[in-house]
Each structure stands twice: as structure tokens, then as C-alpha cells.
Amino acid sequence: MNHRPEVGAGVERADLSNRTALVTGATSGVGRETALALGRLGATVFVHGRDRDAGRTVAAAVEDAGGDAVFFRADLAEQDTVRRLAAAVRDRTDRVDVLVNNAGAHFSTGELTADGVEKTFAVNHLAPFVLTHGLRDLLPDDGRVVTVSSEVHRRFEGPLDATGLDDYDGLDAYARSKLANVLFTAGLADRLDGPTANCCHPGFVPSSGLWRDASLPVRTGVGLLSRLPRRLVGGFADTPATAADTTVYLAASPAVAGVTGTYFSDCAPAEPSAAATDPEHVRELWRLSEDLTGLSWSR
């Protein structure tokens, strides 16, 4: 029997009709399952991705599941394209009830974007920073921002600067970006008046497209895990559908309507790393993010 995230999250009776949700990285994996679940709950889902054909396929699946859907194509590595994505969304609607910052990437080889930022940090953190900034006034008082982080954030303690490639390590870069997701959530919760901001660990998903740019040994390892029977890996690995439970929970559950600035795992609050709860690290990340994007957030 196929797993449905809304059932796993206990929100299968939630009614998201007349609600609009934007899910980044929604053409495959956890993002696709999140988009489909929100569609089944009645939401209008803005499906984001880089591949037009895959995006249209997911949008059609959302509509088949009972929701309405629109596909938006954008590469989140460049800030200009993220800004254009925000503008395209604004042209389509005057309200975003749920923003799911799900898109993520892991790169085994260090690379700077055209903006001069390490690419993993650019995609996984600065893109949510810029996109959320561009849509912040479309969030209603009961709006929700959900950012997908990872338990891997515990691997990294600092520094957060991401403008160089000295001694580049793909996993460290990924961990830094995931720590930034948790710190971003804390800072965002402090700046939003009404809407909530939370983040989560979705689980380890060997079949996720996240690993497509990883090194050959990593791709080989997770590829083998993805082909093992669920009964053998269920204790430590998730399918995209089971990994979407917590994201869908944060997007739709009435139980978290007033909860903000919190890290979740398995549909429950969890304690992030000490580095992720350090107020100075939150301030440091915010200063760095504003410097790298030229954006300014008022409290």
C-alpha cells in the first residue's frame, strides 16, 4: 500500500481549499510528495523545479489528486532567477498561505556561482532567504514558512562564510547550508509578525535526487540503499513519501498553528545542535545573508 504523507502526519482531514502553497524542488522526491499531499488536501499548489516536463507532470498529478496546480521553472543557484521566481509568483497571486523551502542540492566539487557564493550555500540557504524576502508580504497572518533542513546540520559548527572554496568538502558544505536553514528559521520567526516559520529534518532518503551531484562513491552507496527492500532499511532510511510527513505536518496541522522558530523531526519538536541555537550565530548568518544578497529585513 502506498504511503500518503498527509496520513502519516495525521492531517488527512485538514481542509486546504482556498489556500495557496508554493513548494520548491517539487518535481521529484520529498518535494513532489509534499506537493501531491497538499493538493489532495485541496490546496492550489505552485510547483517549482528546473525541469519543465517534470514540473508539468507533477502539476498534472496534483490536479488529478484534487488540487489546482501551476508550474514555475527556475534555477535557484542564481539570485536573479530566484527574484524572477518571486516576481512570477506575485504576478499570479496576492496570497501565499504556505511557503515550503524544500529544494536542496549536494555538490561533491566546489564551485562558485555568478554571485560569488559557494553553490551549495547559494541553493540551500540564500535561495530560501531571497525567495522568502520577495514573498513575505504575501504571507497572511496565519501563513506558514516551512524550511527543510537536515540532521546533518549537527556536523557543522562554523564559520558560516561561504565565499571561498579552500579545503572544500561536499558534506561539510551541505552541513553548513543545513545549519543555515535552522538559523534562518530562528531569525525569520523573530522578524515575521503573524506568520510562522519552522524547519524540519525529513529523514534520510537514498532515492532522493539530492544526491545526483554527489561524488561517485556517494551516488553508488545511496543507489544501493535505494534498491534494498523497505524491510531492510526502514530503521534508518525513508522513502520520499515517508520523508514528506513532517513537512506536510508543518504545512497543514492545526496543532502547530501558533508554533514558530522550532526545529521538528518525525512530526514533533526536536532539539537542534548547540550551534543552531546560538543567538550570535543567528545574527552572524543574517548579516552575512544580507551582505551577500543586498537585501535588508526589518524586524
Give me the active site residues, please. 174
Pull the grid cell for residue 157: 559548527
152 secondary structure, DSSP code = G
**What residue type is assigned to position 159 of the chain?**
P
The H or E element containing residue 131 is helix 127-135
DSSP assignment of 71-121, as one string? EEE--TTSHHHHHHHHHHHHHH-S--SEEEE------SS--B-TTSSBHHH
User: Strands of 262-265's sheet, edge to edge?
Assistant: 68-73, 44-49, 20-23, 98-101, 144-148, 196-201, 262-265, 268-269
Q: Where are the beta strands (DSSP E) in the chain?
A: 20-23, 44-49, 68-73, 98-101, 144-148, 196-201, 262-265, 268-269
CA dihedral 47, 181, 80, 103 (to 10 degrees): -30
Kindly give, in sequence order, each residue whose CB lies less than 8 Å from that of residue 236, ignoring residues fewer than 6 positions away. Answer: 204
